[in-house]
Amino acid sequence: MKRSAGPMLIILSLLTDAVSANSQLICSHQPITVLAGDDVILPCHLEPPISVSDETVEWTRPDIDPKYVHFHQDGRLMFDYQNPSYYLRTRLFMDELMTGNVSMKIFKVKVSDTGRYQCALPSLQKEASIQLIVGESDVIGSDKPVTVTVGDNAILPCHLEPPSNVRTLTVEWTHDGEYVHVSRHGKDYLTDQDENFRGRTSVFHEEMIRGNISLKLTNVTELDAGSYTCFVPKLQSQVRRGFINLTVGEYS
Ligand SMILES: *[C@@H]1O[C@H](CO)[C@@H](O)[C@H](O)[C@H]1NC(C)=O
Ligand SMILES: *[C@@H]1O[C@H](CO)[C@@H](O)[C@H](O)[C@H]1NC(C)=O
Ligand SMILES: *[C@@H]1O[C@H](CO)[C@@H](O)[C@H](O)[C@H]1NC(C)=O
Ligand SMILES: *[C@@H]1O[C@H](CO)[C@@H](O)[C@H](O)[C@H]1NC(C)=O
């Protein structure tokens, strides 16, 4: 312990103890659920806030060896202690430490990052834990063909199972290899779109948060019939493509 020298230091540390005794380290009680490949913040902070800029902050996982995910001391990450699987994938927020925010960010999470994380401030004797769940979702099209008549609108169903947020990822729809629709971050990118589909396609950007990447096609023509593919290239999953057949009937 560094609290041995001089009366002044003792008084200071007593003051710190008095203030910090009231503070609780609070981490999210809800598990944090995220898709493999994403970045995630594990939120933990002291309430009421006190500065921990000069404190040691330990993020560990008791189930791995070495257990240190992020060991912060003397204002920096101590690489020597860190479990190699987290090398260059973690950070704390230096500016936030002043307000007792000890949240840790993990970049490009893997399924193996799933677990219970322990956050500790040893000198203040504070400790709390938080659960991270990293999942993989598959892209699911439709076994049954979608059938519409010429001039109708069609919704080609495609979604992620289990549902997960793909709003920030690129979603590509193709028809026999031609681009039908591309979207990312709530925006459409239609420069490479096949002429046949111009002005007739849309996706449900708000639904993408729940993993729904269905395509809406208006004023269907006979040329639209055939096989469609919904594709999420950056998805960390075994199944990144879904298939849907569209059957177009004549007016009756
Ligand atoms: C802590 O910092 C992170 C990263 O800047 C931020 O997302 C989070 O909202 C902050 N939490 C609090 C309680 O201020
Ligand atoms: C789509 O149609 C083709 C040709 O009829 C068939 O081989 C394929 O299995 C169908 N795919 C789906 C997902 O229904
Ligand atoms: C996706 O969203 C569309 C439009 O709101 C809806 O018709 C469809 O049922 C949704 N699909 C799923 C799997 O939720
Ligand atoms: C639907 O497409 C046909 C050509 O295939 C066009 O003549 C017609 O105006 C379109 N209808 C609408 C509502 O856009």
Cβ neighbour number for residue 14 with a 10 Å cutoff: 11
Flag whether pLDDT at 11 surpasses 60: no
Domains of the chain and any CATH numbers = 24-135 (2.60.40.10), 138-249 (2.60.40.10)
Task: Report which of 120, 127, 130, 99 is spatially closest to residue 56, judged by C-alpha positions.
Answer: 120
Cα-Cα-Cα-Cα dihedral sign, residues 92, 95, 96, 100 = positive
Per the listing, tokens 């598959």 go with: 138
Residue range 102-117, pLDDT digits in tens: 999 999 999 999 999 9
Flag whether pLDDT at 251 surpasses 80: no
Mean pLDDT over each residue of the chain, to the nearest integer: 91
Do the Cβ atoms of 42 and 109 come closer than 8 Å? Answer: no
Residue range 197-235, pLDDT digits in tens: 999 999 999 999 999 999 999 999 999 999 999 999 988
Evaluate: CB of 101 within 6 angstroms of ligand 2: no
HSE-up of residue 148 (Cα within 13 Å, Cβ side): 21
242 Cα: distance to centroid of ligand 4 (angstroms): 28
In this structure, the residue with its CA closest to atom 11 of ligand 2 is 245
